[in-house]
Structure 1
């Protein structure tokens, strides 16, 4: 029987937050990994996560089909993790998350490779959010080229170096109050990045149903207010939680979209918060979840203290109640 060492997996976006976790999970299962990124000279830190010669970075840009086709040569599996939270320069939602996903899928189909595409639970072609519409368009393009592809839709993702829990912890360090857009009532199902990486590796192993769309959520459904409270409790900071109506938040976002770091907020992100981001009842009933894959998801309370300690006043040396 052939071993995983004979299988070449090309990971598009393998140097990002989710990507480095996926590469690590694949390396542990002995796959050969080609990491396709825009700047491979900056992805050298991935190599120590595997054996000598197991991980190799190459240049590819989803906006240039020829580079994607070159990255897919001789590959057996394609994984697309490329996504953006906000637009910048030539990196537009439609170009990256819609057309780009289709480009990867067509390149995979051309070499007869299987495909795993990571999207988002909020993907919806009728959503007022351009981000959500582009995610839905990407899924459509992928399935059109590779009908057997697996679509993985995670809820909001947390973990070391995320742009979610770290962002609000950083904001709490500099501001006496935290905004609760729409009153903080939006429901989410935060999922640990390591659990998503395991699900991706399981899909590469062939443990998922062909052509199925999986919805990946954590063990708890939490409101934005509850998530903020967990972050504040972990960082041991007291901050006012101020309700901010959607209309006012969208007006503020017109300016904050140009702000740096944790202050950045785009009008499109405000639109996303109008809808809950949780695993559907249909996905649960049909066995298209983490639990159905045999993965027991980790909670925020179990994981975030491992990396948010740096936002405490005295960092790792601060004792509870100090």
Structure 2
């Protein structure tokens, strides 16, 4: 006799489900038997999930999160709602503050039993960084409109197809000498699969996890300089890294076409680690995995000779 899955036939709407994290969250939900509705401006970006779902288990809905009618249609009939929407440009207060609050209100009205709002470490209503203020605004709005919501605050999220590790890997592949901005800034970067499992756990048991805030950080602290060195070593490349003073870093972040925005630099500078004031992975029953488990394998495509260049430092550029 087949074993029942914890979210069997439960409909879970995932706002922002077509993004990097959404892909992994959807997979975690599908594995638990949920019916998943991807609500996004561009739901076609998540069509690659189709082979992982049973017939009728996956839905796609185009959604404008700034439009209440669009939000209402997306949450209709949902047993649970997850918000993954994040942005560094546009009207941040509306996208990450007002919209999540409206999602929570409409989810509550629609009878959803769980709401998980993915925020970020560093959210602060008093911050001079727009991103941090917007994240804090969103948390407050969600908690007001759905008191039993779960707030999840991850550190910087890494994965094979992320825009973080891969950004540095691409730069290291091309340049023999590289500047490092915020070289001593400490981070607890966290694996995307672990974050997805944490979100799925919160959705599965809102009685246990609802009304709580969780900070999710990886099992090790790395400075930006250490991270760059480890990526270079995994590529088998000898690189010279030049730590940059804060003034130069701040100026760099204001320039067009740079890989780091002003807000991203302001958030990086103080580091990105858990505070210890909130529960985390342990309380969700998850043992987070370190970058070292994956980095060598992921750097194959950045080596001079691909996977055949793993041990050929002398031949690397």
Residues 42, 222 of structure 1: alpha-carbon distance in 2 compared, 3 angstrom cutoff: closer
* SS of residue matched to 2:214: strand
Q: Does 1:269 align with 2:264?
A: yes
Which residue does the alignment assign to 1:160?
160
Shift of 1:209: 2.5
Which structure 2 residues correspond to residues 107-118 of structure 1 after superposition, within 5 A?
Answer: 107-113=106-112, 114-118=114-118
**Aligned mates of 1:40, 1:273 — CA distance in 2:** 31
Q: Does 1:204 align with 2:199?
A: no
User: Does the 8 Å contact 1:15/1:46 carry over to 2?
Assistant: no
**Aligned mates of 1:192, 1:320 — CA distance in 2:** 26
Counterpart among 28, 35, 38 of residue 35 in structure 1: 38
Shift of 1:320: 1.5
Which structure 2 residues correspond to residues 182-197 of structure 1 after superposition, within 5 A?
Answer: 182=182, 184-197=183-196
**Aligned mates of 1:2, 1:296 — CA distance in 2:** 21
Q: Which runs of 5+ in 1 are unaligned?
A: none
Shift of 1:3: 6.2
Q: Does 1:101 align with 2:100?
A: yes
* SS of residue matched to 1:268: helix
Paired residues, what number?
308
Which residue does the alignment assign to 1:320?
311
Moved more, 57-66 or 274-283: 274-283
Which structure 2 residues correspond to residues 1-322 of structure 1 after superposition, within 5 A?
Answer: 4-84=7-87, 86-87=88-89, 91-113=90-112, 114-182=114-182, 184-206=183-205, 208-255=208-255, 258-259=256-257, 263-283=258-278, 288-322=279-313
**Aligned mates of 1:291, 1:321 — CA distance in 2:** 40
- Structure 1 length normalisation: TM-score? 0.91
* SS of residue matched to 2:24: helix
Shift of 1:224: 1.2
**Aligned mates of 1:52, 1:307 — CA distance in 2:** 33
Deviations 1:101-142, CA, capped at 9 Å, x for gaps: 112112212112120011111111122221111111111111
* SS of residue matched to 1:27: helix
**Aligned mates of 2:171, 2:91 — CA distance in 1:** 26
**Aligned mates of 2:272, 2:108 — CA distance in 1:** 31
* SS of residue matched to 1:241: strand
Shift of 1:201: 0.7
User: Does the 8 Å contact 2:219/2:288 carry over to 1?
Assistant: yes
**Aligned mates of 2:271, 2:233 — CA distance in 1:** 24
Deviations 1:16-37, CA, capped at 9 Å, x for gaps: 1100000000000001111101
User: Does the 8 Å contact 2:235/2:299 carry over to 1?
Assistant: yes
Kindly report the root-mean-square deviation, in angstroms, between the aligned alpha carbons of the 2 structures.
1.7
